[in-house]
Structure 1
Amino acid sequence: MAKTAKKSATIDLGMDDKQRRAIAEGLSRLLADTYTLYLKTHNFHWNVTGPQFNSLHLMFEGQYTELALAVDLIAERIRALGEPAPGSYSAYATLATIAEAKGQPPAEEMVRILAEDQLAVVRTARSIFPLADAAHDEPTADLLTQRMQIHEKTAWMLRATLG
């Protein structure tokens, strides 16, 4: 007689399944925003022109590199919660609050757009906090705190570039 396939292990993280799934859904929105911002920042890195080319090119490179690492951390947290991490452009388009870049704006507009988008990611992260707090999900709260701190600082640096 053939053995039936094993059921996947129950995920008991000390929170109920509804809380766990809601947190993972929130983190999926954060992942979509972060990935969209990564793509936009990388695009601007490639296409920036003008008198500030070198400084903006390097600044954008540092930002998209940090975002590339962040998407992995966020996706891994979703997986640790036992849910699938979204990983397609169509999923990100549905989940993200950040719009894709249209065309190639002037350098100063790129900086302004990225500063606004950094704050949009902060708002998405902040919206997940009540869920993490209610579930006593400290690992997610820690991840959200770190992400918010990085995005707030990056937005400030971008705004400072504008004068």
Structure 2
Amino acid sequence: MSRTQAEKTRLAPLKTPSDLPTNAITDISAALTTLLADMFALYLKTKNFHWHMSGPHFRDYHLLLDEQGEQIFATTDVIAERARKIGGVTLRSIGHIARLQRLADNDADYVTPEDMLAELRDDNGRLVSLLRETHEVCAEHNDVATTSLLEVWIDEAERRTWFLFETTRPQR
């Protein structure tokens, strides 16, 4: 029984050419895929808190979280495409995200605005550490293109952490 051309194409493996060694592709794409899961988790938590914000500073906090959510979401396609560009694979489903994410969800019915901002501050701070870990993996394999992207995202996450820290700092 012969296969049709469509069947052969559908069964073809995803094999993107890369000059990186196989072990580098495996390590880097795994690190990027896990980072992508964290980015989606942080994005959704940021949007959750954006949608459920309340209180006297509603407008300022609502707009801050919307801006931060947009910035986080902007990284997701770049991360996934970078993993594919070097010959790896990436996330395939929400379940895949749930299995890999290292940042905790928040499904509480009500969270105070102060607690929302503090939780996002801590999550963005944790993300900085996770970005640095991913940077180390990429640097170890001399993947300068990915390390360059990560350096920008580290700076963005540090800025988000700083803004959230300043917003939650007690008045004197």
TM-score with structure 2 setting the length: 0.87
The correspondence for 1:97, drawn from 81, 99, 102, is 102
Q: CA RMSD in A?
A: 1.9
Amino acid at match of 2:156: I
- Kept after mapping to 2: 8 A contact 1:29/1:124: no
Q: Aligned pair 1:145/2:166, yes or no?
A: no
2:137 match:
131
Amino acid at match of 1:65: E
Inter-CA distance 77–49: structure 2 relative to 1 (3 Å threshold): same
**Whole-angstrom CA distance in 2 between matches of 1:95 and 1:43:** 20
Amino acid at match of 1:115: R
The correspondence for 1:121, drawn from 103, 108, 127, is 127
Structure 2: any 5+ residue segments left out of the alignment?
Answer: none
Match runs of 1:1-163 below 5 Å: 5=8, 11-13=17-19, 15-103=20-108, 104-163=110-169
TM-superposed CA distance for 1:152, in Å, is 0.6
**Whole-angstrom CA distance in 2 between matches of 1:135 and 1:98:** 26
**Whole-angstrom CA distance in 1 between matches of 2:16 and 2:54:** 53
Inter-CA distance 29–2: structure 2 relative to 1 (3 Å threshold): closer
TM-superposed CA distance for 1:87, in Å, is 3.5
Identity within the alignment, %: 29
TM-superposed CA distance for 1:129, in Å, is 2.0
Amino acid at match of 1:150: E
- Kept after mapping to 2: 8 A contact 1:42/1:64: yes
SS of 1:97 mapped into structure 2: coil
Inter-CA distance 2–76: structure 2 relative to 1 (3 Å threshold): closer
TM-superposed CA distance for 1:78, in Å, is 1.0
1:91-131 deviation per Cα after TM superposition (whole angstroms, max 9, x unaligned): 11111110111213100000000011111211111112222
TM-score with structure 1 setting the length: 0.91
**Whole-angstrom CA distance in 2 between matches of 1:105 and 1:2:** 56
**Whole-angstrom CA distance in 1 between matches of 2:153 and 2:64:** 18
Amino acid at match of 1:129: H
TM-superposed CA distance for 1:30, in Å, is 0.8
Q: After the TM superposition, list the runs of 4 or more consecutive aligned residues in structure 1 that deviate by more than 3 angstroms.
A: 1-10
Total equivalences in the alignment = 162
TM-superposed CA distance for 1:10, in Å, is 5.9
Structure 1: any 5+ residue segments left out of the alignment?
Answer: none
